[in-house]
Amino acid sequence: MSPDSHATGSVVPEPSFNVIMVGSLTMPGGLRFERHSHPVHQLNWATDGVITVTATGGTWVLPSARALWIPADVEHSTAAIGPAVMRSVYFPPRSCPVDWAEPTVIAVGPLLGELIDHLSRDDLAPDARARAEAVVFDLLEPVSVTTVQLPTPADQRARAVADALRANPADDRDLASWGRVTGASERTLARLFVAGTGMTFGHWRAQNRMCAALPLLAEGTAVGTVARKVGYGTASAFVAAFRRAFGVSPGSYFARPR
């Protein structure tokens, strides 16, 4: 069964089933499923590669060590940063002991990964499936991960700055310099960023750099290289900024649980 209604020939499970169902999809880099929802709970996990999920105003970058629990009927979009294999695990709400109302990041260790693979089999006896499912629920362990929120300003002048920085997060021009490019004053641009995103320009730029850094880190790019690519002069400055944003070091963020 394919994991998403936007994939050709796929099937989205209806709430009538009573067991955990597992779908798998090989995704080329750049493939994106636009906003949609399911009538069942879903766990999105990349067994290989990195996926992103956007829901409820936040974006999660998910290497194989992390999966995202998406409650039933919550709209979300999913994308592959590079080539990826995505496993979607579906849980019928009426028989599911988990009742998280918001998207929740789950740590995926080797045992949980093996159990998901086990439950993808079509030949499991009902009692064997029931035992495996019970263990899966025991292993759904939330981890504290800060989401990256990066709204786009509505005003076209501020939006032009945001688009340029998304394309090149290492660009370190200040608002006065951007003002000369867009025809707006420094003060006007500062006001437009706060009004359009809820963030100061400096905060938005820092968030943008983290958005650009996460996929690179997930692909195994060296921290020093990532730092330069997203606009930090040294690896230590980048690591400090990463800790401010996420509360942990890049290595801890992507470490696979034992």
Determine the straight-line distance between the first and last CA of the chain, rounded to whole angstroms.
Answer: 29
For residue 11, give the amino acid letter: V
Quote the tokens at residue 66.
Answer: 């992390």
Backbone angles phi, psi at 159, to 5 degrees: -65, -35
Quickly state the pLDDT bin for 4 (edges 50, 70, 90): very low
Report whether pLDDT(11) > 60.
no
Q: Give the neighbor-by-neighbor strand order of the sheet with 76-80.
A: 32-36, 76-80, 51-55, 58-62
Percent helix, strand, coil in the chain, to 5, is 40, 20, 40
Whose structure tokens read 């943008």?
208
How many CA atoms within 13 Å lie on the side-chain side of 18?
3
pTM for the structure as a whole:
0.72
Q: Which residues in the chain are classed under CATH 1.10.10.60?
A: 156-254
* CA distance readout (Å), 71 to 56, 76, 104, 121, 210: 11, 10, 9, 24, 26
What is the chain's mean pLDDT, rounded?
Answer: 87
- Residue 201 backbone zone (phi > 0: left; psi -120 to 50: alpha; other: beta): alpha
Contact between 189 and 161 (Cβ < 8 Å)? yes
What is the rounded CA–CA span in Å between residue 98 and residue 115? 17
What is the rounded CA–CA span in Å between residue 197 and residue 153? 6
What is the rounded CA–CA span in Å between residue 185 and residue 96? 55
Topology given in CATH for the domain delimited by 156-254? Arc Repressor Mutant, subunit A (1.10.10)
Quote the tokens at residue 117.
Answer: 């693979």
Q: Which comes out higher in pLDDT, residue 119 or 143?
A: 119
* CATH, range 21-139: 2.60.120.280
Neighbour count for residue 158 (Cβ, 10 Å): 27
**If you average pLDDT over residues 209-234, what whole number do you get?**
91
- Residue 183 backbone zone (phi > 0: left; psi -120 to 50: alpha; other: beta): left
Tell me which DSSP letter residue 140 carries.
-
Quote the tokens at residue 145.
Answer: 């991960």
Residue 12: predicted pLDDT = 53
Quickly state the pLDDT bin for 116 (edges 50, 70, 90): very high
Least confident interval from 14-18, 110-114, 149-153, 202-206: 14-18
For residue 171, give the amino acid letter: D
Least confident interval from 4-18, 20-34, 80-94, 189-203: 4-18
Quickly state the pLDDT bin for 148 (edges 50, 70, 90): confident
Q: Which residues in the chain are classed under CATH 2.60.120.280?
A: 21-139
Rounded to 5 degrees, what angle do the CA atoms 116, 105, 38 make? 70
170-213 residue pLDDT tens: 999 999 999 999 999 999 999 999 999 999 999 999 999 998 89
**If you average pLDDT over residues 116-134, what whole number do you get?**
91
